[in-house]
Structure 1
């Protein structure tokens, strides 16, 4: 073929729809009928007479590992242990270290807030509450600690105070703040890394996804949006998605179970682009064939499908099937038209709308039919069997891998309002929880046990994460040792530099004060009618 990047535009062969008989017998199999000879001219092969197009020789399925979970299948894994396969101890220690450093830097820059050093156990408790909030879905964070009768929830208060949860959210930092500052200075140059803030967790989770699960033969590629309206350069708009604005992720998932095996965050035009288009580069970046093996079947939508991509995948012994965009006159429902150009097969099928697919596997038609409710010439509804190409049937089965993953995440997603970059952090938590749940399903099946539902799995995981912390929150009395707590003015007099009192804020009030504690670095009222300074240091806060 002279140009593999353009699909042929001619209709060369057609299977007409079946008769109007509602329930034909097994002998009523649809036979292909040739179109007039003028339509059969041209170099691309279209078959002869009633002979169906033969399926080409396909590569054998040779995965590098046995598909499925790569864990010890007879071992008992708790929900927490599965979660920690992805969210490892080293990742937690890195986040704790960088969060403490970032909080110290903010404090030195003049930001006044209560901060006690974060520990690994406390970060586990924080993540437990994040997942818990996805289960309940209250509109506002403060509702989980509300004293109102209808919101009275004992669990969040037993794990962590609201002020501590918010303090961790405000200071959460995945990367080294000093290195992040150096990276920010490179903005506008090729050396600037747009994903630097999330790299430590991002890289570890992608690596774990590839390590603990090996996908089956059918894979799906699709896009995913993480909602945000933040003012950030890599924010994308997609009008056809339920979430229009946000971070765009490209995802490769197992079609059968929805396990997210590989993904990356789209950061804009890349200096490593091949010149064959974003869709081509995205698929090639996701498809790590050195780890997967040969003979995989890749399903995708019309954004990715191109003859150029499919031929290059076939050269790597990877088969592909995807819809393509086309503008042609409408034929009768049930019509199948196909054209083979070398190793590429193009099939058009008319159902309620026109569907055109390009593929390097399957035949155009193997005799399958589907029942459809149609309006006959007498304007009466009847059930009729119409032929369906095997490519379309398999596409409908296997293309939903990423959609299945999205659905599992969407049931209990943990997104809430936070610093703009850390929307991706919460989405990573969702990916980890769902992938852990899928591993649990595979283990339960191998051990002949009934798996938990995703809701039950999350509930147990929350309990196990919360019990990792020996105390719900560091006591405020611990800061009384060493340097004494002394009140001081923010500014030169009582009228300047006023801030909202931390203790009043916990009571739902917004009372501004000119004073703060020099040791705790927190604003507190100190007037005869409202001595929050004394209360803070004697009875603490909740």
Structure 2
């Protein structure tokens, strides 16, 4: 087969007949041309067994071609491509996903933004008792309440501007003055949410409907001032988050071994 023949055949490959898709679907679903293929892959993911501890994170599908769906996300291993919201197990199995199509495409009724909508969409297949972890892009007090109504406990880092004003914690500068390993915890009046602020190299704030500050352990850190490793006190919520948040990163690592690259 000649090169030209190959490219001609490739350009004619189709997953769906455009005449079978109505205009409303085309306007609503920007992936309608490959939707049957996406659904088949999703169904395969949904058939995988669910573990108790799961995580949700962003994933970038590398793509440099032409599409309105392409995003550029700095500080990602593959910054250019399609943004994908992924539900994964700690061992790296992808259990569900939703390809980002724009701000209006993923909005869940009653949600406060894309991050919350993505979590509510990806937790539809989860059962009561699941423990979920996600980062600051998704975390909010309202989201944890909605997940709790479904019997799902959640833990995540949180942006300072999403911490409710009723939460009383020392400021980041005050925590820094107390030294490395300093931490504080605040529990909501109904005991359903916990906020923990911890100072390591820099301050980090986490919230959870499951984990708190105790029992603390220690982690090894390099001290530039003393030029040696030291033991730094670490709240339990931080240890649990670090242990269970890497599912999507593990999936990316496994996929990188089989990535098809243009030549």
TM-score, structure 1 normalization: 0.43
Offset of 1:353 from its aligned partner? 1.8
Contact 1:220–1:300 (CA under 8 A) maintained in structure 2: yes
**SS of 1:293's equivalent?**
coil
**Larger fraction in strand:** 2
**Larger fraction in helix:** 1
Offset of 1:226 from its aligned partner? 1.9
Query: Which residues of 2 match residues 305-454 of structure 1 at below 5 A?
Result: 305-326=139-160, 328-329=172-173, 330-331=175-176, 332-341=179-188, 342=190, 343-375=192-224, 379-416=225-262
**SS of 1:361's equivalent?**
coil
Offset of 1:267 from its aligned partner? 1.1
TM-score, structure 2 normalization: 0.84
The total of aligned residue pairs comes to 246
**Counterparts of 2:253 and 2:85 in 1: how far apart (Å)?**
16
**Counterparts of 2:52 and 2:235 in 1: how far apart (Å)?**
20
Contact 1:365–1:388 (CA under 8 A) maintained in structure 2: no
Offset of 1:235 from its aligned partner? 2.2
**Counterparts of 2:6 and 2:65 in 1: how far apart (Å)?**
22
Partner of 1:270: 105
Matched, 1:253 2:88: yes
Partner of 2:127: 293
**Counterparts of 2:13 and 2:261 in 1: how far apart (Å)?**
15
Higher relative contact order (CA 8 A, sep 6+): 1
**Counterparts of 2:14 and 2:88 in 1: how far apart (Å)?**
28
Runs of 5+ consecutive residues of structure 2 not aligned to the other structure: 161-170
**Counterparts of 2:227 and 2:258 in 1: how far apart (Å)?**
41
**SS of 1:414's equivalent?**
coil
TM-aligned CA distance change 1:247 to 1:380, over 3 Å:
closer
Partner of 1:197: 33
Runs of 5+ consecutive residues of structure 1 not aligned to the other structure: 1-159, 418-542
TM-aligned CA distance change 1:232 to 1:161, over 3 Å:
closer
**Counterparts of 1:337 and 1:309 in 2: how far apart (Å)?**
22
Matched, 1:303 2:166: no
Partner of 1:178: 19
